[in-house]
Chain A
Amino acid sequence: MGMLNLILANVSRKPATRLYPFEIRAPFEEFKGRIVFNPENCILCGICQKKCPPDAIKVTKDEKKWELNVFRCIMCTECVTGCPKDCIIISNERAKTGAKEYIKILVPKVDTPKAAPPK
């Protein structure tokens, strides 16, 4: 009897699956989709590079370049929590299929620590 109820309920219910390419489920707000780097405040300290478990981030001070290997990134968010200037945030949008392997971003300016003004 339980099985019959289930069958009848399933006949009237809409499908449990989605017609994927036409109907895409919006990602959850908390979903860790991809890393977004905002270069404005970056001081090229390299903490994200040191913390990154799969060595996906590479910071080159001389070239003022921040580089992320998207294929290596495991979305652990160590860089997000570790960044002292909050330059790295996590977005809930998935990286698109066929995205490039490397994201290379030039950091516009680096704040050099200034000497304290004389009293």
Chain B
Amino acid sequence: MTTIIPFGPQHPVLPEPVSLKLEIDNDVVVGALPSLGYVHRGLEKFVDTKDYNQTTYICERICGICSAIHGITYTRAVEKLFDVEIPERGQYLRVIFSELNRIHSHLLWLGLFADGFGFESLFYECWKYRETVLDVLERTTGNRVIHSCSKVGGASKDLTKEHIDLILKMCDTVEPQVKDLEKVFVNNYSVKQRLVGLATMSKQLAYEAGTVGPTLRGSGNHSDLRESADWDIYKDLGFKAAVEKDGDCYARTKVRINELYESIKLVRNAISKMPNGEIATPIKGFPTGEAIMRAEQPRGEVIYYVKGKGTKNLERLKIRTPTFANIPSLLLTLPGIKLADVPIVVLTIDPCISCTER
């Protein structure tokens, strides 16, 4: 006989409310039914009342962790409507801020994940290291998490020489710290006992379930939007996607740790190659037509659809966030695992619920 127990909306491992109704048979999950909609804020509709420049600030507030990338993707989508090319320095600045965002997002996730399997000291270590990144972001952009670094037409913040020195110094301190963390996450016996072979998804299954980001790459699919045609700049910076073959929780953790190194490398390369000059081009007029922009967030692929009708407001803004694409994979991976492992599996997709519900 099966029992149904609720997992969430309030649960110690969940930073945000998502509810999973778990069908349990003798401590083993048989089925799961997710339900969303606890933190819907109606931001897509709210766009109707603001002009397209002000919408950047709304988009940045969709997510507290990957705010910069939300803003950058939105501005790229609107720039597509205007068909403008932004100055090269602006593009490099966007890369730097989005990669710094990715570093702090992944460090946050590693900490939450460690907390999920009961390794509290590792959780504090991860979050301690994250603070150095946040301090640098605060000193360069003026805010800890919502940076307002992008605007339609380019970047809104320029980096001075002192800022660049700060960022490079931060990279030098964070890289050995990530190496220390990697030693524990990859080699520690108890961590491996919890993660290896848990919730395995084959390459085909991950692709068919429509997963994105580290969840997809952890199963051996080579898919990273930073390698796509929309983001040419990453090619010049020597970007290589982190891919692992195993498809279990351990592989997804390794993907994220490797992405940390990749992001640090990208920040360094972007700073060394960044040209001088203008950071933004002035844009006049109102957007018309429709455009789609995709970008790689820390959690995976985000899709922005914008439609303008020649007025100052956009007619429609539609966002597909990575967590929305990753939640269906939970329904495939949760059956067959033990109840005690459910928090770990839920955390490996890096759920960001406020993002998903907007």
- The A1-43 residues at the B interface (CB cut-off 8 A) are 2-3, 6, 16, 28-32
Q: Which residues of A lie under 8 Å from residue B138 when comparing CB positions?
A: 28, 30-31
Q: Which residues of A lie under 8 Å from residue B54 when comparing CB positions?
A: 51, 53, 78
Nearest B-chain residue to A92, judged by Cβ: B142
A45 within 8 A of B: no
- Classify the interface of chain A: helix, strand, loop or mixed: loop
B58 within 8 A of A: yes
| Interface contact B143-A75, CB-CB below 8 Å | yes
| Interface contact B128-A76, CB-CB below 8 Å | no
Nearest A-chain residue to B58, judged by Cβ: A53
CB distance from B343 to the nearest CB of A (A): 24
| Interface contact B183-A77, CB-CB below 8 Å | no
Q: Which residues of A lie under 8 Å from residue B135 when comparing CB positions?
A: 28
A105 within 8 A of B: no
Nearest B-chain residue to A32, judged by Cβ: B142
Contact of B142 among A2, A6, A75 (CB under 8 A): A75
| Interface contact B58-A30, CB-CB below 8 Å | no
CB distance from A26 to the nearest CB of B (A): 12
CB distance from B151 to the nearest CB of A (A): 9
- The B118-158 residues at the A interface (CB cut-off 8 A) are 125, 128, 135, 138-143, 146, 148, 156
B113 within 8 A of A: no
- The A56-112 residues at the B interface (CB cut-off 8 A) are 74-78, 81, 90
Q: Which residues of B lie under 8 Å from residue A81 when comparing CB positions?
A: 156
Q: Which residues of A lie under 8 Å from residue B146 when comparing CB positions?
A: 74
CB distance from B61 to the nearest CB of A (A): 8
Q: How many Å lie between the Cα of A54 and that of B54 in the bound state? A: 9
- Classify the interface of chain B: helix, strand, loop or mixed: helix
Q: Which residues of A lie under 8 Å from residue B172 when comparing CB positions?
A: none
Q: Which residues of B lie under 8 Å from residue A3 when comparing CB positions?
A: 184
Q: Which residues of B lie under 8 Å from residue A32 when comparing CB positions?
A: 142-143
B85 within 8 A of A: no
B304 within 8 A of A: no
| Interface contact A2-B183, CB-CB below 8 Å | yes
| Interface contact B148-A77, CB-CB below 8 Å | yes
CB distance from A1 to the nearest CB of B (A): 10
| Interface contact B139-A28, CB-CB below 8 Å | yes
| Interface contact B180-A30, CB-CB below 8 Å | no
Q: Which of A3, A16, A32, A53 has the most CB of B within 10 A?
A: A53
Nearest A-chain residue to B140, judged by Cβ: A30
* Given contacts A2-B180, A76-B57, A77-B148, A53 and B139 within 8 Å (CB-CB): no
- The B13-58 residues at the A interface (CB cut-off 8 A) are 50, 54, 57-58
Q: How many Å lie between the Cα of A75 and that of B141 in the bound state? A: 11
Q: Which residues of A lie under 8 Å from residue B142 when comparing CB positions?
A: 30-32, 75, 77, 90
| Interface contact A76-B180, CB-CB below 8 Å | no
Nearest B-chain residue to A53, judged by Cβ: B54
Q: How many Å lie between the Cα of A76 and that of B141 in the bound state? A: 10
Report B's interface with A, CB cutoff 8 A.
Answer: 50, 54, 57-58, 61, 125, 128, 135, 138-143, 146, 148, 156, 180, 183-184
Q: List 10 A-B contacts (CB under 8 A).
A: A3-B184, A6-B180, A30-B140, A30-B142, A51-B54, A53-B54, A74-B146, A76-B57, A77-B142, A78-B54
Q: Which 8 A-B pairs have the closest CB atoms?
A: A32-B142, A53-B54, A53-B57, A28-B139, A30-B142, A76-B148, A30-B139, A76-B57
